[in-house]
Amino acid sequence: MKKILVANRGEIAIRVMKTAKKMGIKTVAIYSTADRNAPHVKFADEAVCIGEAPSSESYLRGDKIIEVAKNLHVDGIHPGYGFLSENADFAELTEKNNIVFIGPRSKAIKIMGSKLAAKEAVKAYNIPMVPGIDEAITDVEKAKSIAREIGFPILIKASAGGGGKGMRVVEKESDLESQMTRAISEATSAFGDGSVFIEKYVTSPRHIEIQIMADSHNNILHFFERECSIQRRHQKVVEEAPSAVLSPELRTKMGEAAVKVARSCDYLGAGTVEFLIDADHNFYFLEMNTRLQVEHPVTELITGIDLVELQIKVARGEALDMNQEDLNIEGHALELRVYAEDPLNDFLPSVGNLSTYKLPVGEGIRVDNGFEEGMDIPIYYDPMLSKLITYGATREEAIQLMIKAIENYQVEGVQTTLAFGKFVCEHEAFCSGNFDTHFVKNFYSPEALQQKTENEGKIASLIALKQYLNDQKLLRLPN
């Protein structure tokens, strides 16, 4: 594999290209008209404009991407995450054109792309699943009957869903019909598929995922877990590895379950198996993401493994050159997704110009970044600017380093989730490890963040004033 096209943009495009260059592989970037001056375009060996700013006219145009790949004699396509990364048709089109898709086979993407098909595939492997119905449902009376059987609260979920879309928690029977109608409508508009199913709503859940890697020689390894319970709108914002609540025994059990899930669909490459853990530490299979995850850096830091490098090696047909026993957890890593969003206004996207944009540096600090000072934030794509990752010998060290890194991350021109990240890292519930996916609902409010910021500002002013007065005293002292 001498040349790879990265079918993505921003920080993940640069992340993939860095490993490719390290491996002596040439890189091709694609970009939209909105991204012509983006860092990923400059970082690549070659770059081609793929279309206009909307992703439907650029990053989602699989036919155009294949055309560029063929014209430039590309050997492989890495889809990153988002866009076409979990599009089975694109994976198939790549394969048909004799280009290696650096990801799973299209069959696995199809199976795991449907939550219902995924549940069906893993049934034979004795993997715990949340009580509920594993078939699409539109009949409200039938839904009520099932809900009564498993007990309220229940969760209505879109089969083709992700990112919290088409998902509704129903506390009582009288709300079921209206919430079901909304979930079906939202799923139809978001995914073109209105199939929904019902399962028991797990109270006080923690969201734990297991990183796996499978080669074409029947080897599947797991690279331990990531804790992803700090979320807003069912989307992750803070992730860490390892989890503060997993015992070595539970870790082994979940790792083995994740490997079975991968085996159930003849998996190839990097994937993530997602689980819910209840208050009694029972775990349940949720879904499988058939791609590299946004939060993969925390796994890389605690294992010392470059997951993108492994992806490329596996795609080239190489066997994994390690055993499960060779893998160990060293230290602790934390990641904050730095979004151009306003945490004081319901995390709505914040559009503007990055008039100041300076990244923190130092030992134990990693920033996977996709922007530069002076750039505008495009309105067409996900508003993530970067991923801020810290690594320490202990969880406490990683948290303190994250607080320091946030304070040294300078952004002006847009609102970001940096202040929210600091709020999380300084909160007693997070520091103690005693939290779940309801952290934002239970502990966070714009008022709490504003109050905290104002208090910090007052303290900083008092310290500055004290320092000034001390300096004046020194100046007045006789020589």
Helix (H) or strand (E) holding 177: helix 176-191
- Cα 161 from Cα 315, distance rounded (Å): 27
Region at 171 (left for phi over 0; alpha for psi -120 to 50; beta for the rest): alpha
Catalytic residue list: 291
CA dist 429 and 267 (Å) reads: 37
Q: Is 323 helix (H, G, I), strand (E, B) or coil?
A: coil
Among the listed residues 36, 35, 101, the one whose alpha carbon sits nearest the alpha carbon of residue 65: 101
Q: Count Cα neighbours of 115 within 13 Å in the Cβ-side half-sphere.
A: 30
The CA distance from 168 to 179, in Å, is 6
Whether the link from the prior residue into 360 is cis, omega within 30° of 0, is no
CA distance 214 to 233: 31
CA max distance for the chain: 91
Structure tokens belonging to residue 173: 């029977």
Of 345, 341, 332, give the one whose Cα is nearest residue 425.
332
CA 286, CA 265: separation in Å to the nearest integer?
A: 15
Q: Which helix (H) or strand (E) holds 418?
A: helix 418-426
Yes or no: say if 197 and 152 are a contact pair by the CB < 8 Å rule: no
Q: What is the DSSP letter of 23?
A: T
Amino acid at 219: N
Q: Map residue 232 onto helix, strand or coil.
A: strand
d(CA 117, CA 112): 7
Collapse the DSSP code of 248 into the 3-class scheme (helix H, G, I; strand E, B; otherwise coil) and give the result: helix
Angle at CA of residue 222, ends 217 and 224, nearest 5°: 165
Strand 154-158 to strand 384-392: parallel, antiparallel, or no bridges (unpaired)? unpaired
What proportions of the chain, in percent to the nearest 5, are helix, strand and coil? 40, 25, 35
